[in-house]
Structure 1
Amino acid sequence: MQAVLRVNSFDPDKLAADQEQLEEFNRLHAAQPGFLGSVTVDLGEGRQFVLNLWDSEEHRVAGLGALGPAVERLVNPLLARPSELIGFGPVVASDGLPATDA
């Protein structure tokens, strides 16, 4: 399993006005072969930590290529500054915690 970690800093007004753009991107993301899911953490003031999981490096790389135009069209216009890639690589441990509502 592969993980991609990034911090997105959204313009809160743009995000509130165009939430459907982010929802559309999330649907496209979820439809990618090998995509396993995401965890998004609200850090406040428009900042979100995002962890994306892929079943393989090949799927992660292919997803990156396939989603590039959608990022440009749907996500980047909502950002206050460019997305910060923290890193990516193989998942070495996971304890499978269930999702909870905030």
Structure 2
Amino acid sequence: MPVQITPPAGPANATLELENIPALKREVRALAEQRGAVILAHNYQVPEVQDVAHYVGDSLGLSRQAAEAGGDVIAFCGVHFMAETASILCPEKTVLLPDL
């Protein structure tokens, strides 16, 4: 059953300042660790997403990483079919597909 997560409130047209990126990366990694999550990013994602991911690769490589990854949660930064594949390969894990 899909889980709907509401993003934090903020201005719809907010811009990301370069000086804030390192702190945001640390925060994302800390939250992932606290929640037992592994972040997987497809190689077409922007560098800022790739930099915070635990694993970066193509569709097949990320599917393999999803199956082997520890943790209870997979945050899959890619397209729907990749997250669906991870969900099939890892039915015991919660697979999230962020809206980037």
Query: If the length of structure 2 is used for normalisation, what is the TM-score?
Result: 0.28
Q: Which has the higher contact order (CA 8 A, sep 6+)?
A: 1
More strand by percentage:
1
